[in-house]
Amino acid sequence: MTELLAAALAARQHAHAPYSHFAVGAALEDIHGHVHTGCNVENATYGLTLCAERVAVFKAMSEGVREFRRIAVAADTETLTPPCGACRQILWEFCGDIEVMLVNPGGKTETLRMKDLFPRAFDASFL
């Protein structure tokens, strides 16, 4: 298993998911090989909840990182869990057509590209 997948699985352990009990971890690799992790953080209102992927992107951005290579997303599901629609939008806008690696604790993996997960994405080119 790659270090990035292991980092996503480890980040999942820090999730705050008292309502859904659906813990997710993410590990975002920048172009310099540094890994920025995130986990989902739920709120009682649900609408203020942040997904693991967005936490990882925003943490990296807050440190000045602007170019990314790939992201790993970890959830404990038999059918591997891709990023939600909101996360796909954020990943597309801030990371572009990066590689998206999905993993579960059993070691099952799948790798996709953002363009395949998010065809005909809306971005600044439409503004």
pLDDT single digits (tens) 50-96: 999 999 999 999 999 999 999 999 999 999 999 999 999 999 999 99
53 catalytic per annotation: yes
Q: 3-119: which CATH topology?
A: Cytidine Deaminase; domain 2 (3.40.140)
pLDDT of residue 1: 65
Cβ–Cβ < 8 Å for 43, 49: yes
pTM recorded for the entire structure: 0.96
Tell me: pLDDT of 6 over 70.
Answer: yes
Q: For residue 102, what are its two tokens?
A: 């999905």
Q: Check 42, 53, 67, 110 and give the catalytic one.
A: 53
59 closest CA partner among 77, 41, 76, 74: 41
User: What's the average model confidence in pLDDT over 33-57?
Assistant: 97
Boundaries of every domain in the chain: 3-119
Q: Please state, as a whole number, how many other Cβ atoms lie within 10 Å of the Cβ of residue 19.
A: 12
